[in-house]
Amino acid sequence: MEQTRMQSLQPDPAARYRNVLEALWRIIRTEGLWRPMRGLNVTATGAGPAHALYFACYEKLKKTLSDVIHPGGNSHIANGAAGCVATLLHDAAMNPAEVVKQRMQMYNSPYHRVTDCVRAVWQNEGAGAFYRSYTTQLTMNVPFQAIHFMTYEFLQEHFNPQRRYNPSSHVLSGACAGAVAAAATTPLDVCKTLLNTQESLALNSNITGHITGMASAFRTVYQVGGVTAYFRGVQARVIYQIPSTAIAWSVYEFFKYLITKRQEERRAGK
């Protein structure tokens, strides 16, 4: 929520924050303890199937492409390409959930329940509104995941060259990879937030109609806030991604280890 609020181009005076901690403190103090958690349920609902598609596609393509590009070894090109393709499936599942979450997190949002938000968006803007930011989401997430996966695999080569199950190396590599990728793609995330929220105050700044497409979003961000507006919320975005990617990789590597171990035991028992 803090990231969404801090990326607002022309926030309400009551929703102007200098940093992440101030944003969190003021949101809790003025809007309640559970306000920062609004939209979490819809995110959790979409995250399960999205991540299942994401990692399954990544592993299959990484192995296939690595065998072609660098047989018997690890290829950073294969890692990046596999991450990009996996992102297409992940974002297709997550984009509607992201639209609902961000609209519920905006300051003075009229939506208190997920169903209210979904119904209002569907009735007022049509089904296409749930995918209005999809191309921008891909434009952001394809380079994000390329950087993310390549950085993770690069760090694993240094921290865990034997590629054994090593929780500390997975957490550290995941956290660093998420931080680097998040910082590099913040301008695209700002545009995605604008497309998802169609922020009314920004739209009233001599801009008419809905903002559609990445080019339109980039122009709007620059018109409203200049170059610095592209990096609104970078601190919150990096802080969010560090634990997110660290947890994702550690959990993924743990279950991958368990499944692989059981498969090896079954083969040995035959």
Backbone angles phi, psi at 111, to 5 degrees: -100, 130
Cβ 9 vs Cβ 202: under 8 Å: yes
From 10-19, 110-119, 132-141, 188-197, the region with the lowest mean pLDDT: 10-19
What's residue 151's pLDDT? 94
Q: What pLDDT, on the 0 to 100 scale, is given for residue 169?
A: 96
Q: Does residue 64 or residue 210 have the better pLDDT?
A: 64
- Distance CA(202)–CA(148), nearest Å, equals 31
pLDDT at 216 exceeding the cut of 70: yes
pLDDT, mean over the chain? 80
> Does 90 have pLDDT greater than 70?
yes
CA gap 50, 121 in Å, rounded: 22
Q: How far apart are CA 111 and CA 124, in angstroms?
A: 14
Pick from 109, 97, 144: which is nearest to 5 by CA? 109
Token pair of 179 as six digits: 């931080």
Q: Smallest Cα–Cα separation from 249: which of 162, 141, 153?
A: 153
**Cβ-based neighbours of 13, under 8 Å, separated by 6 or more:** none
Nearest to 220 by CA among 249, 256, 191: 191
Choice between 196 and 95, residue whose per-residue pLDDT is larger: 95
Q: Which helix (H) or strand (E) segment is 202 a member of?
A: helix 200-203
Task: Identify the pLDDT of residue 40.
Answer: 66
Buried residues in 99-123 as b, exposed as e (16+ CB within 10 A): bbbbbbbbbebebeebeebbeebee
**Could you tell me the pTM of the whole model?**
0.66
- CA neighbours within 13 Å on the CB side: how many for 165? 12
**What integer pLDDT is reported at residue 2 of this predicted model?**
44
Sole residue written with tokens 């509607």: 96
Alpha-carbon distance of 7 to 34, in angstroms, equals 21
pLDDT > 80? residue 44: no
